[in-house]
Amino acid sequence: MFEIDRNSKVLLVDQIRNEIISRIEAFQWVRGSRLPSVRALSKQLGVSIFTVSSAYEDLVARQIIESRPGAGYYILASGPADTSKDSERMIPPSSLHAGFLYRALDPSQYDFPVSSGYLPPSWLADAVPASVTGRLIRNTLSCSVPAPAAGSQELRSVIAKKLRELQINASSTQIVVTIGATHAFSLIRNMMLEAGDYLLVEDPSYLLLQLKLIKDRDFNIITVPRTHDGPDLDIMEEMVAKYRPKLFLTQTLIHNPTGGNTSPAKGFRILSLAQKYDFHIVEDDIFGALCTRQTLRLSSLDEWNRTFYLSGFSKVLSPALRLGYVVAPPEFVERLVEQKMYNVLCGSSLDETIVAYTLESGRYQHHLDALRQRVMHERIRAREWLTKVGVEVDEGVVEGLFIWARFPAHVDLRRLIEEAHDARIFLAPGSLFSNTREYDQYIRLNVSHCNDLRFRQFVADHLCSETASA
């Protein structure tokens, strides 16, 4: 077995990955053979399970090894495909980014999903009323036929009605139902961007994290700093004037991960820049339902000249309901439906019926109101204890699911996250959401999970030990 150098400047993850590659290339490890288990290798090397798991996931992303559920990791029988011709435009997912999403979607790996993007299951237990199940049983036809390509007319009509309550006036014919908000954005991206085009996205942003995972992209990504009340507009104008992007991707309300809302003043200027420099806006409003204040969306100001609006229901109803939608300017709807058919053909009539019935039920608004109050209560609690232990919280952000927490400079955040992983605590470092080193001391915290006494004790103990050794 190989050894690692703890005094080296090379990260432990990279050392493990490189050593495995060297042994495969030197035929010391046979192609097709099974690698040591994550737990066994971590014990032999004296490193955390998180470190070995990240190295393995990086090798999977590079098509050097494969994961076989229930059997472990195996060296692929043939080497990775030659991608040298595409090396300049391909961004393979790093172990950090791919690993984060892999672990985020598997709740069995953690007892405390502190950086998760979802609410606790107990908070959503009554989100879909029992009466909906009864209606589904009586209306078996809705569950035994395919959904129309654009989505059921009943669901699109209900969504249009709900949007009018948000001062977003859209016809049901402008709505295309998708398999989640991520799918909605991929349809827009495939339709709007050609090879060599530029896409502008905020930094930090969860949306930037998603873009980093696209291995075969032929478009360019440029970023604009995100502040607590929206993008830095001076820098944004410089970027759009220089690069002339086709799309600007933004979250107006409950920004992920910073939690802030774009101010109306900035919203008006963003629309002005879109008109001046001829780009379209993708407004991701996936967390907007948790906003407690009446705040205008860009889509309500734009009147469908340059804005695509997308949202979904997995955050407030159930993660199991992978159902979202995009509202598009009328001239793009037909092309979006075609993209959807090429991609997945159609959605689930069962999911669409469940969501349509739930939105129509009288309990839906009550459910949202209760969620908002609960999130706000937990947010206040989290800000109080985090501030007391020395973690910096943006005072300008007062609502939403996330706290963008800055840990003291002397804290070794990588070590903290590795120890959290070993304690079955899921944490997302700020570096995941950015192309810069500016957020290396940040962690995204979900207020619905981070007030558990065991996590609070974990943070307090870690900060105390780091302070003592500083």
Phi, psi of 58 (to 5 degrees): -65, -40
The whole-number pLDDT of residue 470 equals 57
Q: How does 403-419 read in b/e, with b if 16+ C-beta sit within 10 Å?
A: bbbbbeeebebbebbbb
Long-range contacts, stretch 14-21, CB < 8 angstroms, 24+ apart: 14/55, 16/41, 16/45, 16/47, 16/51, 16/52, 16/55, 17/55, 17/58, 17/59, 17/95, 20/55, 20/59, 20/64, 20/65, 21/59, 21/64
Q: Cα angle at 342 between 93 and 195, to 5 degrees?
A: 50
Nearest to 176, CA basis, from 187, 162, 192, 190: 187
Domain ranges in the chain? 12-75, 96-123+365-466, 130-361
Nearest to 76, CA basis, from 91, 65, 92: 65
Between strands 307-312 and 280-284, the pairing is parallel
**Residue in the block written with tokens 């099974």:** 34
* Cα–Cα distance for residue pair 105/409, rounded to 1 Å: 30
The whole-number pLDDT of residue 27 equals 72
Phi, psi of 366 (to 5 degrees): -60, -40
* Beta carbons within 8 Å of 31's beta carbon, 6+ residues apart: 24, 75, 76, 77, 78
The whole-number pLDDT of residue 83 equals 42
The whole-number pLDDT of residue 384 equals 96
* Cα–Cα distance for residue pair 142/355, rounded to 1 Å: 12
pTM value is: 0.79
The whole-number pLDDT of residue 263 equals 94
Cα-based torsion angle of the residue sequence 157, 159, 160, 163 in order, rounded to the nearest 10 degrees: 160
**What CATH fold (topology level) applies to the domain 96-123+365-466?**
Aspartate Aminotransferase, domain 1 (3.90.1150)
* Cα–Cα distance for residue pair 119/316, rounded to 1 Å: 8
* Cα–Cα distance for residue pair 461/459, rounded to 1 Å: 6
The CATH class of the 12-75 domain is: mainly alpha
- Tens place of pLDDT for every residue, the chain, 470 residues? 688 888 876 778 888 988 998 888 777 788 888 899 988 898 889 888 878 887 888 888 788 898 887 788 989 876 655 444 333 323 333 445 566 666 676 777 789 999 999 999 999 988 987 777 777 767 766 667 889 999 999 999 999 999 999 999 999 999 999 999 999 999 999 999 999 999 999 999 999 888 877 767 889 999 999 999 999 999 999 999 999 999 999 999 999 999 999 999 999 999 999 999 999 999 999 999 999 887 889 999 998 999 999 999 999 999 988 999 999 999 999 999 999 999 899 999 889 988 998 998 878 999 999 999 999 999 999 999 999 999 999 988 888 999 999 999 999 888 898 889 888 899 999 988 988 889 999 999 999 999 999 999 999 998 987 666 65
The whole-number pLDDT of residue 90 equals 30
Q: Classify residue 221 by its DSSP letter.
A: E
The whole-number pLDDT of residue 324 equals 97
Q: Please answer whether residues 30 and 46 qualify as being in contact, where contact means their C-beta atoms are separated by less than 8 angstroms.
A: no
Identity of the amino acid at 100: F
**What CATH fold (topology level) applies to the domain 130-361?**
Aspartate Aminotransferase; domain 2 (3.40.640)
Partners of 222 in beta bridges: 200
* 130-361 shares the fold of 12-75: no
The whole-number pLDDT of residue 80 equals 56
The whole-number pLDDT of residue 109 equals 75
